[in-house]
A and B are shown apart, each in its own frame.
Chain A
Amino acid sequence: MNVHFEPIRAATDMSALRADVRAFLDEKVAHLPAEVRAQSWSGWDDGLSAAMGARGWIGMTWPTTFGGQAASQLDRYTVVEEMLAAGAPVAAHWIADRQSGTLILKFGSDDLKRELVPQIATGKLFFCIGMSEPNSGSDLASLRTRAQRVDGGWSISGSKIWTTFADKSQFMIALVRTTQQDARSSRDGLSQLVVDLSSEGVTIRPIEDQTGAAHFCEVFFDSVFVPDRMLLGEEGQGWAQVTAELALERSGPERFLSSHVLLEAVCETLNEQPNDAMLALLGEWAAELWVLRQMSLSVASRLERGEAPMLEAAIVKDLGARYEQSIARDLSGAFTASSFSDAGSAIEPVLTYLVANSPCFSLRGGTREILRGIIARELGLR
Chain B
Amino acid sequence: MNEHRSILKETVERLFADLAADRNADPRASWHAIEELGLPGLLQSQEAEGFGGDWEDAGTVFKASAIHRLEIPVSETILARSWLVGLSLKSPEGMGGFLLHSVNPAGPAGLERMLAAGKLDWVLALGDKSWRLVDLEEFGFTSNGTRPSRAELISKDLGAALIAEGPLDGGPQDHAHQAALMRACQMAGAIEAMVALAIEYTRDRQQFGRSLSSFQAIQHQLALAVEESAAASCAAASACQAMTLGNAAFEIAAAKWRVGKAADRVFDIAHQVHGAIGFTREYDLHQFSLRAQEWRRDFGNEGYWAREMARAVLSNRPKPLWHFLTARHDAILAAERAGAGS
A→B interface (CB under 8 Å): 1, 3, 5-11, 13-15, 18, 81, 85-86, 260, 263-264, 267-268, 270, 272, 274, 276, 279-295, 298, 312, 315, 318-319, 369, 371-373, 375-376, 379, 381-382
**Interchain residue pairs with CB less than 8 A apart (25):** A6-B1, A7-B237, A13-B334, A13-B337, A85-B320, A267-B314, A267-B321, A270-B314, A279-B311, A280-B310, A282-B306, A284-B306, A286-B254, A286-B321, A287-B306, A290-B238, A291-B235, A291-B255, A294-B234, A315-B230, A371-B223, A373-B220, A379-B199, A379-B222, A381-B203
Q: Which of B74-82, B136-144, B168-176, B322-330 contacts A (4 or more CB under 8 A)?
A: B322-330
Q: Are B238 and A7 in contact (CB under 8 A)?
A: yes
Across-interface contacts of B250 in A (CB, < 8 A): 286, 290
Min CB distance, B20 to chain A, in Å? 18
Other contacts beyond A7-B238, A371-B223: 13, CB < 8 A = A7-B241, A13-B337, A85-B320, A281-B310, A283-B313, A284-B257, A286-B309, A287-B254, A290-B325, A376-B219, A381-B202, A381-B203, A382-B214
Min CB distance, A7 to chain B, in Å? 5
Min CB distance, B166 to chain A, in Å? 34
Min CB distance, B331 to chain A, in Å? 9
Q: Are B322 and A7 in contact (CB under 8 A)?
A: no
Q: Are B192 and A286 in contact (CB under 8 A)?
A: no
Q: Given A286-B310, A289-B325, A372-B219 in contact, is the A312-B199 Cβ separation under 8 Å?
A: no
Q: Are B251 and A3 in contact (CB under 8 A)?
A: no
Q: Given A1-B229, A376-B223 in contact, is the A268-B318 Cβ separation under 8 Å?
A: yes
Closest to A273 in B: B314
Q: Given A10-B336, A267-B313, A290-B254 in contact, is the A375-B321 Cβ separation under 8 Å?
A: no
Complex-state Cα separation, A281 to B303, whole angstroms:
9
Q: Are A9 and B336 in contact (CB under 8 A)?
A: yes
Complex-state Cα separation, A253 to B222, whole angstroms:
25
Complex-state Cα separation, A341 to B215, whole angstroms:
51
Closest to A322 in B: B227
Across-interface contacts of A381 in B (CB, < 8 A): 199, 202-203, 213-214, 219, 222
Min CB distance, A148 to chain B, in Å? 38
Asked if B224 CB lies within 8 Å of chain A CBs, one says yes
Asked if B196 CB lies within 8 Å of chain A CBs, one says yes
Across-interface contacts of B223 in A (CB, < 8 A): 318, 371-373, 375-376, 379
Q: Are A288 and B258 in contact (CB under 8 A)?
A: yes
Q: Are A376 and B330 in contact (CB under 8 A)?
A: no
Q: Are B224 and A372 in contact (CB under 8 A)?
A: yes
